[in-house]
Structure 1
């Protein structure tokens, strides 16, 4: 329990004291006491102090300086002023009372006979005793949780111990999956009415949000407060510990228990994440072997399918999610990319009953049984996964595309993986975001993507394109943009961020230098295909 102005009024030294400011500020916390000697309160004032004064230091100041003094006192968090008459100032100035009332600062008058020493000793004794009590409480709470950690507790066990300590229900909520672990089922049903950030107090190292919520179980007409503290985690999950203040408000000692509990929960969540990562790494290794055709031994192949729970008789497709952060200055291997990858996996698990996934820093690869799923239905489900992932904060700035292979048996999974990756290359040529294409969608590009020898692809690129690529890249990019917008000068200029006259000048130069006839549809088709093949070779 904190020490307040109202509490100190019960001390023996305040037996004959008078409160001159009514009830304002009597609930202010008291954490220290100070005798005022000078008006520079910003230099020595501290939040929670009560100020002992005879007003002598303020007596000669102008009204404006006095108002500034009390405004600073309010901003600093001064708890109260205690006035004592002196031989130089026998009556309390009216402006002293008015200023305290204006800034809602308690003003207490004590008799001349009451010594400052007596007040200081009584106040400090209480404060020192309370700090000793808090220190002992922290020691006991910390020791309890340390011993609990050594026993490798379950998360629900940690929550139950915390509930017992603070006498309020608690729950752990994971925002992405929407899962909830609670000590009291009645407190899990609530509607948040408002919330605000809770300023950090003496025993608060984590960030807290204070909410007003309605709990139907406890009566629809009554609202209760709750505290939520985010628990840092390594994966994509977003955990928060919720303290439901159903029985009584959280005290400073309760915050000690909460902070210790958050530390243990964070440790346990890191353990769970590490175990999950170990399992995922093994799955990644086996899945990669399948996708790259590295398993030649039949017995090893069967063992791999059994470990991944894949049915040999089913047809499967390979699905590739490829993504990047919108800000090109950010590294593809950033923690945010890893979290986005985990988010895609999470939504994929919800959408497909059985799947195997392999994660890379900028890719998620799914191996899906597709005997009962047609191509269009599969695209719709993948579009839903992509939409949910992009809508999840903080991934709104991500660019992502999805490619799908043809159905194949597991022996030919390497071919399916190549189809999915080749489809990704063609999606890159389109240069659009949030595309979902299967191998059949790329049409004529299948002929070129199935050619592993780049020298063969070069043969299909017109000599004019190769020469322009060597001579002048600006002309090459202008030609590509011009053909992509059906030879529209204005639209091409918008794509290239230049003036339409610049596009006209460049196109005329292309006509004259490379003898290109823009009215010949056959030549335009060959040039368009050649430009795209050039991009495929670069990739």
Structure 2
């Protein structure tokens, strides 16, 4: 139990004192007793201290300075003031402002006769506080032993709550806040009050014993006369978790607070253990998914174990969906690791429309495996609508052909290359499949830049090397559907200048702008050369 001013008044060494103001503050908690010298101020006082002073300096001080002194006392949560009377002052000499302030703030004001030795008072109070702290420590150890014994058998959050409820004889709950209401996570079995009755927005700071190290609040409970005592679990990630105690069977005592403080420590430990286990499990799952998507599980035994772990059917077909973030037509290497909330929003969208059986977030892409239960068009349309609203980043989505789990490695590699080709050749296509590449899908097996360059007409290679400005003019012309006006605008030149450059290209090459087949071959050559220069398939 917390020591109060009233408790100390029972000490023999305290009996010579005389209470002259602040009688209603006799239940103020006391943690220490300190001496304030004539030239000192109470600004550095710790909370719940009894201040012993002669106030000699303040008998002749200005009212303004005296007011500052009294303000500092109240702000420091001073428990009581003891004025030592000397041969030169009497009770009547104590400033009236001090008596009035102590009376207003329920701050007990005592006088100590000049014939009494304040050293005896100091010694008696210090010994009492030490003995009380020792008893509190013994109680804390006993309470702690309850939780230690329980943790040795079951260290779960449920077990911690049941232990706490049995010690304080009140139901307890672990919850988080959602939309201004309490959302239960774990409850002791004796909880009967619905959490939606707790008026969490009307909570107020709770008065707690001096030994308590956390901040507590009290919230009213609708349709009852009880309250909920709540405290946030320390060192929690977002969203934070809270411990709530329904004070419905009996009032919360100082010893109960010690039990709650113990429970907070063990709840934090249980949370850390759960987090560690979850992270270890997630790491194991990620490694297994990586092996599946990389085609590393070639042995039937290991493959079947992985399929069983993820509840996959070896004979069912799945589509792999790849989401990749692009910035200025180049894949961002760590877009999702830098913005994990973006990845979370993407997966939330996917789960709202389909039931993914595997998900994997990589720094630069998200891979999802979906059972083939709907038509491809029904898969592409929602994704295309979503991409039209994804204005924060430029995403591109690749969808594989239906694949069995044993062929996931090939399907992933194919989908990655499909997105890479589409990014370079079809920048306006946001959702692409292998068939969407059309003629260009024949480029997928080619990974050697020399093999790709062999497909580019030699005169285009020379134009790119010897006349890069004209080569850029030609690729811009192709990119804008052979429109001189639009191409000139894209290059910030006059249409006549554009026509002049095209005529110059005609003179330098055998390109015939009136021959559709010739234009097609040149356009394909420009696209392939673009793949080579960007190292897309290498």
Report the TM-score, using the length of structure 2 for normalisation.
0.70
Residue aligning to 1:181? 186
CA displacement at 1:484 relative to structure 2: 8.8
Matched, 1:439 2:433: yes
1:131 is displaced (CA, Å) by 0.7
Is 1:40 the counterpart of 2:45? The answer is no
Distance in 2 (alpha carbons) for counterparts of 1:431 and 1:134: 74
Per-residue deviation, 1:41: 1.7
Change (3 A) 1:193 1:272: closer
Say yes or no: does 1:106 pair with 2:107. Answer: yes
**Counterparts of 1:95-174 in structure 2 under 5 Å?**
95-98=97-100, 100=102, 104=105, 106-110=107-111, 112=113, 115-117=117-119, 119-173=121-175
Unaligned runs of 5+ in 1: 391-396, 494-502
Matched, 1:18 2:23: no
Q: Distance in 2 between matches of 1:72 and 1:154?
A: 46
CA contact (8 A) 1:41 1:73 kept: no
Structure 1 match to 2:446: 452
Task: Say if 1:195 and 1:211, in contact at 8 Å, map to a contact too.
Answer: yes
SS at match of 1:40: coil
Which residue of structure 2 aligns with residue 393 of structure 1? none
C-alpha contact (below 8 Å) 1:172/1:239 kept by paired residues? no
Q: Residues 130 and 538 of structure 1: is their aligned pair in 2 closer, same or farther, counting only changes over 3 Å?
A: farther
Give SS of 1:242's match.
strand
| Structure 1 residues 91-490: aligned runs within 5 Å | 91-98=93-100, 100=102, 104=105, 106-110=107-111, 112=113, 115-117=117-119, 119-173=121-175, 180-183=185-188, 184-187=190-193, 189-190=195-196, 191=198, 192-194=200-202, 210=217, 212=219, 215-216=221-222, 219=224, 224-230=228-234, 232=236, 238=239, 240-247=241-248, 253-297=255-299, 301-322=303-324, 332=334, 355-358=357-360, 360=362, 363-372=365-374, 375-376=377-378, 380=382, 403-422=398-417, 424-425=419-420, 437-439=431-433, 443=437, 447=441, 450-455=444-449, 456-458=451-453, 459=455, 463=461, 466-467=464-465
Per-residue displacement from partner, 1:46-98 (whole Å, max 9, x unpaired)?
32212123321322333333233333333433333223443322222223335
In 2: Cα distance, 1:80 partner to 1:492 partner: 81
Cα distance in 2 for residues equivalent to 1:69 and 1:445: 88
The Cα shift of 1:17 comes to 2.8
Q: Shift of residue 491 of structure 1? A: 10
Indicate conservation of the 8 Å contact 1:349/1:355, yes or no.
no
Which runs of 5 or more structure 2 residues have no equivalent in the other structure? 507-512
**Does the aligned pair in 2 maintain the 1:379–1:436 contact within 8 Å?**
no
- With over 3 angstroms needed to count, the CA separation of the structure-2 counterparts of 1:256 and 1:508, relative to structure 1, is farther
What is the alpha-carbon distance in structure 1 between the residues aligned to residue 381 and residue 208 of structure 2? 48
Q: 2:510 aligns to what? A: none
Q: 1:39 to 1:351 in 2, by over 3 A?
A: farther
Q: What is the CA–CA distance in structure 2 between the aligned matches of 1:158 and 1:45, rounded to whole Å?
A: 37
Inter-partner Cα distance in structure 1 for 2:53 and 2:142? 40
Provide the C-alpha distance between the structure 1 equivalents of 2:326 and 2:127, rounded to a whole number of angstroms.
Answer: 61
**Alpha carbons 2:487, 2:498 under 8 Å: kept:** no
Is the Cα contact below 8 Å between 1:295 and 1:301 reproduced in 2?
yes
CA distance in 2 between counterparts of 1:446 and 1:47 reads: 77
Q: 1:58 to 1:164 in 2, by over 3 A?
A: same
CA distance in structure 2 between the partners assigned to 1:331 and 1:97 by the alignment? 71
Greater shift after overlay, 524-533 or 403-412? 524-533
Shift of residue 266, structure 1, vs aligned partner: 3.9
The one-character-per-residue Cα deviations of 1:354-411 (angstroms, maximum 9, x if unpaired) are 6134454555433221224655357749999xx9xx9xxxxxx999765432333334
SS of 2:368's partner is strand
**Change beyond 3 A, Cα 1:532–1:285:** same
**Matched residues in 2 for 1:105 and 1:508: separation?**
91
Cα–Cα, structure 1 residues 383 and 106, in superposed 2: closer, same or farther, change >3 Å? farther
> Against the structure 1 CA distance between its residues 52 and 412, is the aligned structure 2 distance closer, same or farther, given a 3 Å change threshold?
closer
Measured on the aligned residues, the alpha-carbon RMSD in Å equals: 5.5
Q: Which moved more, 1:155-164 or 1:349-358?
A: 349-358
Query: What is the rounded CA distance, in whole Å, between the counterparts of 1:402 and 1:259 in structure 2?
Result: 50
Deviation at 1:350, TM superposition (A): 8.4
The secondary structure found in structure 2 opposite 1:367 is: strand
Judged with a 3 Å threshold, the aligned counterparts in structure 2 of structure 1 residues 209 and 69 are, in CA distance, closer, same or farther, namely closer
d(CA) in 2 for partners of 1:278 and 1:466?
53
